[in-house]
A = this chain, B = another copy of it.
């Protein structure tokens, strides 16, 4: 059975009251050097550390931030999680990682996080439906929510995203200057595709260049297989001369899956037969096997801003940040 020392025990050992013990552990509290020394000494001897649980109950702030994730197939989640945990911990917070896939429906997860008194909820999902969160059955007490790396369609819930308009303008400019004229766009989950707005801007900027038709491919979800299937369906149905000359995929994973399929099953050369563009700058896309042109999100800044919103240092408003085009030999 676990047994931890409490402030009370330390107090007795040090010959002071438990409130003095608390003061010794409260930066800037008014306490004499002498008392503090004695308290810390006894504390060390008894192996005492404050119980954050009890503190949270009293202060009504847990320092715990729930992070909702629903798409573990995208390896790009990992660097985000790394940065997120790192920056949260740097300001004394900690991440509660909550899987909102399948069985764990969102409302339930929300309820659970709420019951655990988290200070905030970061929606770092991909395919979740905003509608399920819109009504927020939890009444007025719900912890503040923030959406990371996709648009928010929920009223009063701000998002921190990479600026899709800037990104797609850069991408289309690049492709146009490379001479491509028959663009295609492969989207993943329908719900997210609208939220990311990548497809929308892709079409818009092509049409500004006089190219009004963008071939639409759909992968239904975000995975290698889905990307492969998406391009396979298209290529099987379309003869060589009618094919697109460049394919933009909604993220790198789709792009990698599509590239494999194009080369492995259809013997196409990239970029000679079809060029490919992704989004995210996932590490493996940069390998010589793929050398995928892509767009990098300003991960650290995005995370940093969302944390400052949580801390209340920045007004909770949707923020879009510029990313960076990464040109490689797939275009």
Residues of A near any B CB (own CB < 8 A): 2-4, 47, 49-54, 56-57, 60, 62, 64, 67, 69, 72-73, 75, 77-79, 81-82, 85-86, 89-90, 94-99, 101, 103-104, 111-112, 114-117, 138-141, 143, 223-224, 256-257, 259-261, 263-265, 283-284, 287-290
CB-contact partner of A89 in B4, B57, B98, B256, under 8 A:
B98
A287–B96 Cα distance when bound, in Å, is 33
CB-contact partner of A257 in B79, B96, B264, B287, under 8 A:
B287
- Known A115-B50, A116-B53; contact A263-B284, beta-carbon cutoff 8 A: no
Minimal beta-carbon separation of A306 from chain B (angstroms): 16
Known: A263-B288, A263-B289. 7 other contacts (CB 8 A): A53-B57, A57-B57, A67-B97, A85-B97, A86-B101, A94-B116, A257-B287
A62–B62 Cα distance when bound, in Å, is 13
CB-based contact A2/B94 at 8 Å? no
Q: What chain B residues lie within 8 Å of A3 (beta carbons)?
A: 140-141
Q: What chain B residues lie within 8 Å of A94 (beta carbons)?
A: 96-98, 112, 116
Minimal beta-carbon separation of A250 from chain B (angstroms): 18
Minimal beta-carbon separation of A256 from chain B (angstroms): 7
User: Which 10 residue pairs of A and B lie closest in terms of their CB atoms, listed nearest first?
Assistant: A264-B288, A72-B82, A85-B99, A75-B75, A47-B139, A97-B97, A260-B287, A52-B115, A4-B141, A260-B288
Q: What chain B residues lie within 8 Å of A73 (beta carbons)?
A: 78, 283
CB-based contact A86/B104 at 8 Å? yes
10 A-B pairs in the complex with CB atoms less than 8 angstroms apart: A2-B143, A51-B117, A53-B53, A53-B62, A67-B97, A72-B82, A77-B78, A78-B78, A94-B112, A263-B288
Minimal beta-carbon separation of A273 from chain B (angstroms): 16
CB-based contact A72/B79 at 8 Å? yes
CB-contact partner of A287 in B53, B101, B114, B256, under 8 A:
B256
CB-based contact B49/A115 at 8 Å? yes
A265–B72 Cα distance when bound, in Å, is 32
Chain B CB count within 10 A is highest, among A56, A75, A114, for A75
CB-contact partner of A141 in B2, B56, B261, under 8 A:
B2
CB-based contact A283/B53 at 8 Å? no
Minimal beta-carbon separation of A245 from chain B (angstroms): 21
For A259, the closest partner residue in chain B by CB is B289
CB-contact partner of A51 in B95, B98, B104, B115, under 8 A:
B115
For A80, the closest partner residue in chain B by CB is B72
For A67, the closest partner residue in chain B by CB is B97
Q: What chain B residues lie within 8 Å of A111 (beta carbons)?
A: 49
CB-based contact A101/B72 at 8 Å? no
A22–B3 Cα distance when bound, in Å, is 27
For A140, the closest partner residue in chain B by CB is B3
Q: What chain B residues lie within 8 Å of A260 (beta carbons)?
A: 287-289
For A77, the closest partner residue in chain B by CB is B78
A140–B2 Cα distance when bound, in Å, is 7
A297–B202 Cα distance when bound, in Å, is 41
Minimal beta-carbon separation of A35 from chain B (angstroms): 22
